[in-house]
Amino acid sequence: MKRESPVDKYHEREAGAKIEEKWNLQVFECAKFYRCDWQLMRNGEHLAFAEYKFSTKKIAEKGEHYWINLSKIMFAESLIMISGKPWFLFVEFPEGIFYHQLEYPVHPFFEISRFIKKDQDGNYSKQPCAILPIKEFHKLDEDKTSPL
């Protein structure tokens, strides 16, 4: 089963290059079917794990919340607990790349709901999701220094 289209992979790699340049680190792609997209490192030291998403909608169109598959957050929390290092969600909106950071100790609670997801075959399914406040996202280009 194909999980990402060549266009998706292109956007992901372009965003990774921007993050490398802006934060002075290396973005390594995780293996296919791994539960997050990237490992962030500098000089051979593990700094964080990260997930990348691309949105055709403007950030204002998302309203006050960003919805993400609950399994992504569950895996993120386990990575944080094992490593003691942060996890980032990078979302590329038309306005630029924004990120949400989770750190140890892990965010106490998330609002949970359900959302409709379309798979590669065009089928729709309802899945549990975590709801992240948009106000907790930071624009990559506006950061003066890397959080890592």
Burial class (CB in 10 A: 0-12, 13-18, 19+), 27: buried
Q: What is the pLDDT of residue 1?
A: 39
* Tens of pLDDT, residue by residue, the chain (148 residues): 346 788 889 999 999 999 999 999 999 999 988 889 999 999 999 999 999 999 999 999 999 999 999 999 999 999 999 999 999 999 999 999 999 999 988 767 889 999 887 777 778 888 999 999 999 999 998 767 889 9
Residues paired with 118 in a beta bridge = 124
Q: What is the pLDDT of residue 146?
A: 86
Q: What is the pLDDT of residue 101?
A: 95
Q: What is the pLDDT of residue 121?
A: 79
Residues paired with 54 in a beta bridge = 92
Token pair, residue 113, equals: 């709901």
pLDDT tens for each residue of 9-35? 999 999 999 999 999 999 999 998 888
Other Cβ atoms less than 10 A from the Cβ of 144: the count is 4
Q: What pTM value is reported for the model?
A: 0.91
Residues paired with 95 in a beta bridge = none
Q: What is the pLDDT of residue 123?
A: 84
Q: What is the pLDDT of residue 3?
A: 61
